[in-house]
């Protein structure tokens, strides 16, 4: 577990509304994310702006958090390796409870339920889950990106008629031998 500074921008005090069902507060904050949200392939990088608009609503089980998180993710196109910028508009939803989190029949903890100490909410996990869910497994600079030539690595976009000379037949025979050996 990494140590989280108490000054985390994700932490909101709710002592005044907790255990007062019906009471609520709107949170509207922009801050630089202290840690990247995402994967090695695409993420909202550390230091990027995140705009958080959520309502914190006191319910009998705790605090219900709902709203949106907006940020820009940076990644690499899975085909041509160009930079990809993606505007992320994620729906944030979660129940923060002071009680025990009950597992379902399969022994799994429910999603979207988080524990808190009754005083302050740490929204980092719920925001991270929401943002990561919006990120593609394979980012593309555009849906029909032609990618790179698998033989020489040239960008096919700049050179659509790109082609290679057929391999010398002698080499080709040798190559198929090698392939047979490998397979």
Q: Per-residue string for binding with Zn ion, 122-141, x by CB under 5 A? A: -------------------x
> Closest Cα partner for 100 from 119, 89, 114?
114
How near is the Cβ of 182 to Zn ion at its closest, in Å? 22
Of 113 and 145, which CB lies nearer to Zn ion in the complex structure? Answer: 145
Binding segment for Zn ion among 16-24, 26-34, 110-118, 142-150 (CB under 5 A)? 142-150
Q: Per-residue string for binding with Zn ion, 85-124, x by CB under 5 A? A: ----------------------------------------
Residue 178: both structure tokens together: 């090698």
First to last CA, the chain: 45
Of 73 and 77, which CB lies nearer to Zn ion in the complex structure? Answer: 77
Under the criterion CB under 5 A, does residue 23 sit at the interface with Zn ion?
no
State the DSSP string of 104-148: -TTSPPPTTEEE--SSEEE-HHHHHHHHHHTS-SS--SSTT---B
Under the criterion CB under 5 A, does residue 42 sit at the interface with Zn ion?
no
- Contacting Zn ion (CB under 5 A), which of 101, 154, 174, 177? 154
Under the criterion CB under 5 A, does residue 69 sit at the interface with Zn ion?
no
> Closest Cα partner for 66 from 100, 24, 34, 97?
24
Q: Which three-class secondary structure state does DSSP give residue 93?
A: strand
How near is the Cβ of 126 to Zn ion at its closest, in Å? 32
Q: Which three-class secondary structure state does DSSP give residue 18?
A: coil
Residue 29: both structure tokens together: 């904050």
Under the criterion CB under 5 A, does residue 156 sit at the interface with Zn ion?
no
Residue 32: both structure tokens together: 């630089």
Residue 116: both structure tokens together: 């808190």
Question: What secondary structure letter does DSSP report for 149?
Answer: -
- Contacting Zn ion (CB under 5 A), which of 11, 59, 113, 149? 149
Of 79 and 128, which CB lies nearer to Zn ion in the complex structure? Answer: 79
Under the criterion CB under 5 A, does residue 151 sit at the interface with Zn ion?
yes
Q: Which residues bind Zn ion (CB under 5 A)?
A: 77, 79-80, 82, 141, 145, 149, 151-152, 154
């Amino acid at each position: 577990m990494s140590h989280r500074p108490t000054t985390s921008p994700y932490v909101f005090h709710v002592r005044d509304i907790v255990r007062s069902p019906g009471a609520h507060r709107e949170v509207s904050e922009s801050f630089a994310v202290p840690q990247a949200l995402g994967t090695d392939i695409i993420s909202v990088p550390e230091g990027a702006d995140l705009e958080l608009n959520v309502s914190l609503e006191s319910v009998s089980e705790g605090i219900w958090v709902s709203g949106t998180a907006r940020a820009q993710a940076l990644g690499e196109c899975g085909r041509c390796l160009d930079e990809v910028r993606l505007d992320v508009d994620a729906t944030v939803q979660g129940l923060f409870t002071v009680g025990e989190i009950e597992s379902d029949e399969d022994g799994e903890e429910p999603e979207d339920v988080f524990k808190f100490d009754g005083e302050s909410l740490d929204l980092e996990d719920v925001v991270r889950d929401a943002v990561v869910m919006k990120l593609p497994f394979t980012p593309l600079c555009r849906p029909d990106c032609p990618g790179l030539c698998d033989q020489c690595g040239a960008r096919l976009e700049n050179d659509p008629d790109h082609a290679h000379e057929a391999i010398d037949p002698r080499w080709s025979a040798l190559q198929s031998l090698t392939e047979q050996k490998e397979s």
